[in-house]
Structure 1
Amino acid sequence: MADPTMQTFCCHRTASVGAHNSSDVIGRIMMEFNTDAYNIVCMFASGLGIFGAVYQILPRRQYANCHRLTSVSAARVRKIIVWLAVADLLAALGMFVRALLWLNTKTIMPAINDNSSVLFCALSSAWTQYFYTATWIWTLCYALDMRRILADRDANTRNYHLVAWTIPAVTTLSGLSMLYLPDASCQTTQLLTTAIIHILPNYLATYLPMLTVMIANPLLYGSSMKGMEREVTSSYGQLTRRERDVMDAFRIKFAVINIVFYICWLPNLINAVLLWCLWFHLPVRVIITIWYIMAFTNPLQALFNCLVYRRWSKGSEQVAIPWCRSPRSKSNNTTTKKEPISKEEKYPLLAKSSTSPSFNGKYT
């Protein structure tokens, strides 16, 4: 999972910390924490995430049209979805490998004075943190691009890549540098001021991008829906039933995307609030339960994304496996010219078909 708490476990341990003294907070947690069960949950969820990400990356074969299979907007958002899946894949893969090695060593904390374990733990945590942060930024870019599509603006693909890969690098590097430098001894910190200086910046660097997406995406999707309704009303004076159905489909799709993001990452925020607010009276069993939830929901983001970002209408697309030829492709190639262009194909997020002529090409 992408959580700063686990990253503090990568620090060097002294003999007093390694003894799991009952007066030590980390020691009390580790005495009740079943690391084998935790790693198995991580591997299972990460495996599902890897499957979902690979499925999302595979090319799609779209039907009902031939020479106008996909609109410009559908192609634009498809590129963003693929890059989101790539980041999800690499993050889930990092979690899977780390959990596998931790399961083999029977612990998630480095041995006392073991520099190689500290280095592996820190690098694997940085890998996972970087790519999960990238998924959050790509999620935000998707919402921004939908807003730009509905405002009839061109894509900013280069800027999306710049932001989506640079911001995670800055936040991950700055947060983990404050945590580990100069000697990766954050677990020996006793003073509250020292903990705030070394540990709190990593929490902020981790959760500020996540909070930004949680706040900004619902606002962007709400603004997109209002803009669409204004455009249709001003152009045609009224909303027909089919137009309302189309906008309801958009509204449901946007809501599900937001709900999935909250399901995957809200436990991390709850964990951080509990740790910083109740550190001296920490509910250990509650914290451990939240860790299991995070280990399950964080990597499942990739699987959920392959479900919510796909086109929901039945038969509108099919995964194009390179070494297989779909028997449906021939029949579609021979009949497409006679078929009218389905308006459904012009909506990248459409859940219901609509043949209403009221929507102009601005949304396609």
Structure 2
Amino acid sequence: MSDPSIQTFCCHKPGIETLSLSIMSEFNSTSYNVVCLISSVIGIVGAIYQMLPREGTSSQRWFSLTSMRGRQIVVWLALADLLASLGVFMRSVVKLNDSVLMVFDDNETIIFCVIMAAWIEYFYSVTWLWTLFYAVDMWRALRQKPAQMMIYHGITWCLPAVLTMTGLSILYLPNADCHNLGSDSATFLRLLPNYFITYIPIATVMFANPVLYVLSSNSIHNIVANCLSQFTRKERAVVDAVRLRFGFINLAFYACWLPNLINGVVIWASWYNPPRLTLLSLWYIMAVMNPLQALFNSIVYTRSNQRIVFPFSTIDETTPLVTANINN
């Protein structure tokens, strides 16, 4: 799970108990970390599957162009998903291993918590931006504009680093004691910036991507109609299939990250009396859905004209290329 709620729990010190902290203690529970562990393993498998080498062909030039360009972005998205899921996996393993936790003193426990929080937030932030730039590049490709991979890489890897460092620095510096600042207003101001820094990129993708995909769908309609000088049932089926795929991409992102936004709204709307059952339900949903983004991405970013190619297969005149007819 990647959320400011679990990041603020890193500030918790024994002997300080509030209603919010008593709810957050669930982050250390066996059941919660088992859920995170299982979902992160599934996410790791999904990301690795997505990164397997593929080849594809199509008789439609626009389809081949968007497929090749999109594939580059999808691989980087899968890499970021893999690293984020690995972070969730490592945090869960340590939390579930009492012998490891007993070696840590309080300060070392906080340091480990902060490092894992930064790792997970950073790489999930990278996935959000790659998700955005996939939509941007589809829109550009359909307008015959060149890819801007250097710009995409610069923004997706550098901007999350700046945002993560800024949000967590405000939260943990000059000391990781953000729950005991002497007043509710001071605590409020200490925690709020990191929530905004985390949620604004998610909300941006949720707003921008549907708009970009609608524009791209309209472009595909025009391209198909202009290239073939007709728009029969067959061409309509092609456009509808692309629109459906774009819709599933948006749906997958919403399913994975909308619970995080709802969690933020609930926390700040009920700051003085947080609803325990509602928050715990949301946290378990997030523990499942956040790492599963990698699995969903391996499904929704598929293309029927691409096949997995096994690099260890041999190719000669008598042996056909060993491939798996799997979408994407």
Q: Normalized against structure 1, the TM-score is what?
A: 0.81
Residues 279 and 163 of structure 1: CA distance in aligned 2, closer, same or farther (over 3 Å): same
What amino acid maps onto 2:293 in structure 1?
Answer: Q
Matched, 1:130 2:122: yes
Equivalent residue of 2:272, what SS?
A: helix
Deviation at 1:323, TM superposition (A): 2.7
Q: 1:215 aligns with which of 204, 207, 210?
A: 207
Deviation at 1:239, TM superposition (A): 1.9
Q: 1:29 aligns with which of 23, 27, 30?
A: 23
Deviation at 1:9, TM superposition (A): 0.9
Equivalent residue of 2:179, what SS?
A: helix
Deviation at 1:166, TM superposition (A): 1.2
Deviation at 1:318, TM superposition (A): 2.9
Name the residue aligned to 1:86.
79
RMSD of aligned Cα (Å): 2.8
Name the residue aligned to 1:42.
36
More off after superposition, 299-308 vs 320-329: 320-329
Deviation at 1:187, TM superposition (A): 1.7
Report the count of equivalent residues.
321
Deviation at 1:317, TM superposition (A): 3.4
Deviation at 1:3, TM superposition (A): 0.3
Q: 1:227 aligns with which of 214, 219, 222?
A: 219
- Does the aligned pair in 1 maintain the 2:256–2:293 contact within 8 Å? yes
Name the residue aligned to 1:74.
67
What amino acid maps onto 1:47 in structure 2?
Answer: V
Rounded to whole Å, the distance in 1 between the matches of 2:51 and 2:227 is 38
Rounded to whole Å, the distance in 2 between the matches of 1:277 and 1:259 is 26
Name the residue aligned to 1:323.
312
Deviation at 1:62, TM superposition (A): 3.5
Equivalent residue of 1:280, what SS?
A: coil
Equivalent residue of 1:239, what SS?
A: coil
Runs of 4+ in 1 over 3 A off after TM superposition: 30-34, 61-65, 105-108, 230-238, 324-333
Deviation at 1:91, TM superposition (A): 0.1
Residues 32 and 163 of structure 1: CA distance in aligned 2, closer, same or farther (over 3 Å): closer
Residues 318 and 105 of structure 1: CA distance in aligned 2, closer, same or farther (over 3 Å): same
Deviations 1:26-76 (A, max 9, x none): 3431566771000000010000000000011110144689xx9x9333221
Residues 250 and 203 of structure 1: CA distance in aligned 2, closer, same or farther (over 3 Å): same
- Does the aligned pair in 2 maintain the 1:64–1:332 contact within 8 Å? no
What amino acid maps onto 1:257 in structure 2?
Answer: I
Deviations 1:97-122 (A, max 9, x none): 001101113999x98x7111111100
Residues 327 and 45 of structure 1: CA distance in aligned 2, closer, same or farther (over 3 Å): farther
Q: 1:206 aligns with which of 198, 210, 215?
A: 198
Residues 317 and 233 of structure 1: CA distance in aligned 2, closer, same or farther (over 3 Å): closer
Rounded to whole Å, the distance in 1 between the matches of 2:154 and 2:172 is 27
Rounded to whole Å, the distance in 1 between the matches of 2:297 and 2:248 is 10
Rounded to whole Å, the distance in 1 between the matches of 2:28 and 2:176 is 25
- Does the aligned pair in 2 maintain the 1:150–1:224 contact within 8 Å? yes
- Does the aligned pair in 1 maintain the 2:20–2:274 contact within 8 Å? no
Name the residue aligned to 2:9.
9
- Does the aligned pair in 1 maintain the 2:267–2:274 contact within 8 Å? yes
Deviations 1:122-177 (A, max 9, x none): 01100000000000000000000000011111110100101111111111011001
Q: 1:60 aligns with which of 46, 54, 59?
A: 54
User: Between the two proteins, what is the percent identity of the paired residues?
Assistant: 45
Structure 2 spans left out of the alignment, 5+ residues? none
Residues 329 and 153 of structure 1: CA distance in aligned 2, closer, same or farther (over 3 Å): farther
Rounded to whole Å, the distance in 1 between the matches of 2:165 and 2:134 is 25
More off after superposition, 320-329 vs 73-82: 320-329
Deviation at 1:286, TM superposition (A): 1.2
Deviation at 1:241, TM superposition (A): 1.3
Residues 250 and 327 of structure 1: CA distance in aligned 2, closer, same or farther (over 3 Å): farther
Structure 1 spans left out of the alignment, 5+ residues? 334-347, 350-364
Larger radius of gyration: 1
- Does the aligned pair in 1 maintain the 2:256–2:292 contact within 8 Å? yes
Deviations 1:334-355 (A, max 9, x none): xxxxxxxxxxxxxx98xxxxxx
Residues 155 and 61 of structure 1: CA distance in aligned 2, closer, same or farther (over 3 Å): closer
Name the residue aligned to 2:155.
163
Name the residue aligned to 2:257.
265
What amino acid maps onto 1:103 in structure 2?
Answer: L
